[in-house]
Amino acid sequence: RLYFTQIGIGTPAKSYYVQVDTGSDILWVNCVSCDTCPRKSGLGIELTLYDPSGSSSGTGVTCGQEFCVATHGGVLPSCVPAAPCQYSISYGDGSSTTGFFVTDFLQYNQVSGNSQTSLANTSITFGCGAKIGGDLGSSSQALDGILGFGQSNSSMLSQLAAAGKVRKVFAHCLDTINGGGIFAIGDVVQPKVSTTPLVPGMPHYNVNLEAIDVGGVKLQLPTNIFGIEESKGTIIDSGTTLAYLPGVVYNAIMSKVFAQYGDMPLKNDQDFQCFRYSGSVDDGFPIITFHFEGGLPLNIHPHDYLFQNGELYCMGFQTGGLQTKDGKDMVLLGDLAFSNRLVLYDLENQVIGWTDYNCSSSIKIKDDKTGSIYTVNAHDISSGWRFQWHKPLFVLLVTALCSYTMF
């Protein structure tokens, strides 16, 4: 599935559809100078190219400005006075974007009461995409850009926090039953979640994975297979659809999952292991449980890790080498593992947690400035799903998420 939301940028504000991605930091949208950017989308949405000169509040960022120096870890060798601050991002699936940074107003609706909002805006710095590569250039699932929710100071979350607008706490609830979901910046006070510590000093949302059970039986795996040293560890990433595992872990899981179906032929379909099966997969296959530091479990049911592809069921787990060569020894858990759960990222306390949840129901959010607690109902945010959202919201911030099935 592809999860995206709608934001407003510029003066006057224009709407942009962006993928929500916790695995990257930068917010960027395609710009009018981009010749390779798609003009139409198979998602049924209208694409908009950002024009810095078309916004009265838009300004360029030069390579000598503080934001650029901090983002690149110093002044770029090629920097000359008044030269634009350039960026280049490559994603794990081989797609990429390059361009330059600009500063403009982000427009959003802030919660002011139960299911009530008021208009607000904040100046933020983001990427103006001049060139894209890989699947980002495909019109079938084309969007205007990506909204990175990583931990760096360049992320939109960090910029909003630095401006005193929010605390560095957010949550998402991705609904695979009715579609869409909720994305919230701010303290979620209901539902309550148990948490596990984030690994300090890591660029992504890394956690300590301690063990894996299949059907209640612990897998016997090499010592330190889940170590946190370079090119290892466990990352949680909403911008990734599937789950990727080290080869030895993948093979052990596959062996246990299909243990009672020794004679079942598996078909390799575009790197997915697929098979024919009639009946309920939840009745015929085991639950896979990941155990994290502090005793936090993550139960992944068969209907989560097996997806239908025509007449076949396919395994949603893959070996890490298929996602990126550098990630072959890592565990990367995407939406497959966290759908229909409220996932909380508390960067103030450096923990992350989750709980099973009906993402079409309500959550409660606390306003840090007033102490008031507001109820936000998923169906109040929007009257539809997939891509027919009528109220694109950031609510403390809370936004409706659109979803599109990619399989």
* Second CATH level (architecture) for the domain 192-356: Beta Barrel (2.40)
Task: Give the integer Cα–Cα distance in Å for 264 and 218.
Answer: 23
191 upstream amide cis, omega within 30 of 0: yes
Kindly tell me if the per-residue pLDDT of 296 is higher than 60.
Answer: yes
Report percent pLDDT > 70 for the chain: 88
Do the domains spanning 4-184 and 192-356 agree at the CATH topology level?
yes
Quick check: helix, strand or coil at residue 134? helix
The answer to whether 5 and 18 are in contact (CB under 8 A) is: yes
The arithmetic mean of pLDDT across residues 330-358, rounded, is: 93
Q: Domain locations in the chain?
A: 4-184, 192-356
Closest CA to 84 of 102, 64, 62: 62
Q: Which pLDDT score, from 0 to 100, does residue 395 have? A: 33
Structure tokens at 215: 């059907």
Amino acid at position 82, single letter: A
**DSSP H or E run through 174:** strand 169-174
Q: Which pLDDT score, from 0 to 100, does residue 49 have? A: 97
Q: Which pLDDT score, from 0 to 100, does residue 379 have? A: 44
Quick check: helix, strand or coil at residue 112? strand
Q: Which pLDDT score, from 0 to 100, does residue 187 have? A: 87
Rounded to whole angstroms, what are the CA distances from 136 to 19, 108, 160, 390?
11, 25, 27, 25
Task: Give the integer Cα–Cα distance in Å for 44 and 142.
Answer: 10
Q: Which pLDDT score, from 0 to 100, does residue 121 have? A: 87
Measure the CA angle with vertex 322, ends 283 and 197; round to 5°.
70
- Catalytic residue, candidates 104, 237, 304, 329: 237
Kindly tell me if the per-residue pLDDT of 323 is higher than 70.
Answer: no
Residue indicated by tokens 């148990």: 194
pLDDT tens digit string along 51-86? 999 999 999 999 999 999 999 999 989 999 899 999
Kindly tell me if the per-residue pLDDT of 197 is higher than 70.
Answer: yes
Task: Give the integer Cα–Cα distance in Å for 212 and 390.
Answer: 42
The arithmetic mean of pLDDT across residues 330-335, rounded, is: 90
Residue indicated by tokens 């930091």: 25
What ranges make up the beta strands (E) of 357-397? 362-366, 373-377
21 is annotated as an active-site residue: yes
Pick 4-184's CATH classification: 1.10.3720.10, 1.20.1540.10, 3.90.226.10, 2.40.70.10.
Answer: 2.40.70.10
Amino acid at position 103, single letter: T
Position with higher pLDDT, 140 vs 385: 140
Band of residue 91 on the pLDDT scale cut at 50, 70, 90: confident
187 is annotated as an active-site residue: no
**DSSP H or E run through 309:** strand 306-309
Residue indicated by tokens 């942009």: 16
Find the range with the poorest average confidence among 34-43, 144-153, 372-381.
372-381
Closest CA to 98 of 49, 43, 33, 51: 33
Give one DSSP letter per residue of 226-270, joined into a string: T--STT-SEEE-TT-SSEEE-HHHHHHHHHHHTGGGTTPPPEEET
SS3 content of the chain, % helix, strand, coil (to 5): 15, 40, 45
Task: Give the integer Cα–Cα distance in Å for 214 and 103.
Answer: 49
Kindly tell me if the per-residue pLDDT of 326 is higher than 80.
Answer: no
Give the pairing of strands 317-319 and 243-245.
parallel
The answer to whether 144 and 156 are in contact (CB under 8 A) is: no
Find the range with the poorest average confidence among 13-17, 201-205, 244-248.
201-205
Closest CA to 343 of 24, 18, 107, 20: 20
Q: Which pLDDT score, from 0 to 100, does residue 166 have? A: 87
Amino acid at position 265, single letter: P
